[in-house]
A and B are shown apart, each in its own frame.
Chain A
Amino acid sequence: MRVRPVGAHALLLEVDDPPAWFTELWRRRAAGELAAVEIVPGARTVLLDGLADPPTTAELVRALSPSAPAEVTAGITEIGVEYDGEDLAAVAELWGTDSRGVVDRLTTTEFHVAFCGFTPGWAYMAGLPEELAVPRLATPRSRVPAGSVALADAYAGIYPNASPGGWRLVGHTDVRLFDPDRDPPALLIPGTRVRLPERPA
């Protein structure tokens, strides 16, 4: 692990398995062993922010190792998707298959939330192999409807709200991804295992 200082009160940990580290660090904080205001996983990192004494925290985290991901998340969140996205055919072409082939692949993949960002409730869901990475649209759409299920790079994501977006749309869901009155407010938190089964139209 490499630990990079970030300003006066934060550390960026470069780690192999950010969701597993996120869960481990969250558990340590709950146990009172780690005082951090924010624990933010990224694609290859975990950020610890709001630290009183970063050097001491750096020593602490260097001595840790994350628990196996299997212990981390019990159960799988299933989100029913109607695979009717505007870019389904384009993704099929990129993958060298047909629309049915894309749906079969997405419905049989077990995803996990690698990290969040972009907007509240947005989760970057990993699980597709790198060779199925798809480029973002050259020109983002000015408006993507809420609930759109989309792909970019090797991630899947679901738009929590209508917004501009450059991801390739493969379907949609009615599931509410973010609700400030819920605890936790986001349905998909880092480490969550996710399946995207087909839902009849």
Chain B
Amino acid sequence: MIEVIRSGLLTTVQDLGRPGYAHLGVARSGALDAPALARANRLVGNPDGAAGLETTLNGVTFRAEVRTTVAVTGAHSPVRVDSEPVPFGTAFPVPAGAVVQIGAAQSGVRAYVAFAGGVSVAAVLGSRSTDTLSGLGPPPLRPGFVLPLGRSSPAGLPSGDRVPDERLGEPAPTDEVMVRLRFGPRHDWFSVTARDALVEHPYTLSVKSNRVGARLAGTALSRTIAGELPSEGIVLGAVQVPADGQPLVFLADHPTTGGYPVIGVAEAADLPLLAQARPGTSVRFAPWT
């Protein structure tokens, strides 16, 4: 098990979420940058979907109560074991009793911490993920929390090799993110001018963004149909436009139904870029079919 010493801005347990319950109002949840979690898991010999930690901007510090193997991916961050630096993006051994510090991210927002055997808190509806909207799953970490670790498979003992990772070693992400967008299902609630504006004008990622959604600020999108849309199901990546006309891209903890029109849907493969973009980053939508 591990004991949390410093929990950071927001550190939660995440796996690949709990799809299949949206009809009961249960969000999918899960890691916002799922490919990064999968890479961390592979480094320590876990299946891609094993539960790890997702940090926000300033990392996490914990003590390993037992010997384990750890890897950190996602937002590029300094990592130390008992004050000794260890490389980011590589599996490293952690002796029993050692303190692991993941520091403030140099770029990106969310770092992923995988442990050999995974974090083995009780699963809720098939997932160990924290859903920040509904509170399902374990609560966000606090100092003093103790998290159990699962048993690692002998076959999965890490070699210490880096997995091929096109995003490791890259320079800091650019200050602009391109997100592919398919219009619909409610693009016909908006003026042609608004539809054009969405793909022609840059938007700025708002500091109010969280695990529920990436909030954007920019050209307000005006509607041709006023009034409330009868509530309907929402998908991951839906670009919803509330009354103020500022679009919001729904991420993993999104509500399952909503009454604001969805002008388009962002390509799922581009959502990790949004999740790793810092407030102030320019976001551009590219029409896609």
Contact = CB atoms under 8 A, between A and B. Distances in A.
A41 B135 CA distance: 23
Interface string B220-237: 000000000011111101
B231 A49 contact: no
A117 B21 CA distance: 10
A117 B22 CA distance: 8
Interface in A120-168: 120-122, 124, 161
Contact of A6 (B20, B22, B262): B262
A37 B234 CA distance: 13
B267 A8 contact: yes
A118 B185 contact: no
Interface stretch (B35-43, B79-87, B192-200, B253-261): B253-261
Contacts of A178: 24
Contact of B233 (A42, A120, A122, A124): A42
Contacts of A37: 19-20
Interface string A1-24: 000111111101000000000100
A180 B136 contact: yes
Q: Which of A41, A44, A122, A180 has the most C-beta atoms of chain B within 10 angstroms of its own C-beta?
A: A180
Given A7-B182, A8-B182, A180 B23 contact: no
A124 B230 CA distance: 12
A45 interface: yes
Contacts of A12: 185, 232-233
Interface string A38-65: 1111111111011000000000000000
Contact of A186 (B25, B182, B262, B268): B25
A161 to B, nearest CB: 8
Interface in B26-71: 26
B24 A44 contact: no
Q: Which of B182, B184, B232, B255 has the most C-beta atoms of chain A within 10 angstroms of its own C-beta?
A: B232
A124 B231 contact: yes
B125 interface: yes
Given A37-B20, A50-B19, A118 B182 contact: no
Given A37-B20, A117-B256, A185-B24, A49 B235 contact: yes
Contacts of B19: 37-38, 50
Contacts of B257: 40, 42, 115-118
A55 to B, nearest CB: 13
A6 B235 contact: yes
Nearest to A155: B231
Given A7-B182, A43-B232, A120 B26 contact: yes
Q: Which of B19, B21, B125, B262 has the most C-beta atoms of chain A within 10 angstroms of its own C-beta?
A: B21
B185 A116 contact: no
Contacts of B255: 117-118
Given A38-B233, A40-B256, A7 B25 contact: no
A93 B259 CA distance: 27
A42 B230 contact: yes
B26 A46 contact: no
A73 interface: no
B265 interface: yes
Contacts of B235: 6-7, 9-10, 47, 49
Given A45-B232, A117-B256, A122 B25 contact: yes
Interface residues of A, number: 39
A45 B23 contact: no
Interface string B115-144: 000000000110000000111100000000
Given A116-B256, A116-B257, A180-B136, A7 B20 contact: no
Nearest to B125: A180
Q: Which of B25, B257, B266 has the most C-beta atoms of chain A within 10 angstroms of its own C-beta?
A: B25
A6 B184 contact: yes
Contacts of B26: 120, 185
A20 to B, nearest CB: 14
B268 A46 contact: no
Contacts of A44: 230, 232
Contacts of B238: 6-7
Q: Which of B135, B182, B235 has the most C-beta atoms of chain A within 10 angstroms of its own C-beta?
A: B235
Given A5-B184, A8-B267, A119-B134, A38 B22 contact: yes
14 contacts: A6-B184, A6-B265, A7-B268, A38-B19, A38-B22, A39-B23, A40-B257, A42-B232, A47-B22, A49-B22, A118-B257, A119-B134, A120-B25, A180-B125
Interface of A: 4-10, 12, 22, 37-47, 49-50, 115-122, 124, 161, 178, 180, 184-186, 189-190
